[in-house]
Amino acid sequence: MKIFYARVSTEDQNEARQIEKAHELGAERIFLDKMSGKNTDRPALQEMLAFVREGDVIIAESFSRIARNTRDLLDIVETLRNKGVDLISDKEKLDTNTPQGRFMLQVFGAMAELERETILQRQREGIAIAKAEGKYHGRKRIGTDETLTEACKAWRAGEITAREAMTRAGLKPNTFYRRVKEKGL
């Protein structure tokens, strides 16, 4: 069976180009993740790895869609080889069933890892510069102190539940309880 794995890094990104490629290549089944490739904790990837059987071929637009670090990529390829499944990258035109393909896979995996590390380094450098210029102050706090205080008073008075207080304050449980503790509410 021809199986296509597609991945975009965020919910906002469009996977249409990869899906179109899957159809062009005659994929019979498509697995799609909309999340970072920084690790292998992705639902569609895990579902696909459990689904594939001996003789199947997995096609990805590029190896960077499968994994962003060499170790994860090599582990996935090893899992697939043990199952008798081939992995092909359309962009790099590599088949992991050949010795040359496996060698080049390591090269491309290392390049994908370098790309990710470079992006993270640039991001850290940009944040440091923005902080030095007074333009970056971290993530904006959610919920206002007034809203939290009012919600907390109602909660402490037994008028509402803690969950309702969190909803009114616009905070998730961990943030809510941390702010309540910080403010002594």
Q: Which residues are catalytic?
A: 9
Could you tell me the CA-to-CA distances from 52 to 29, 49, 57, 63, 152 in Å, in that order? Answer: 10, 6, 8, 18, 52
Contacts of 130 (CB under 8 A, 6+ apart): 136
Sequence-distant (≥ 6) Cβ neighbours of residue 1 within 8 angstroms = 28, 29, 53, 55, 56, 57
Inter-CA distances, 62 with 49, 94, 156, 173, 185, Å? 17, 9, 55, 39, 52
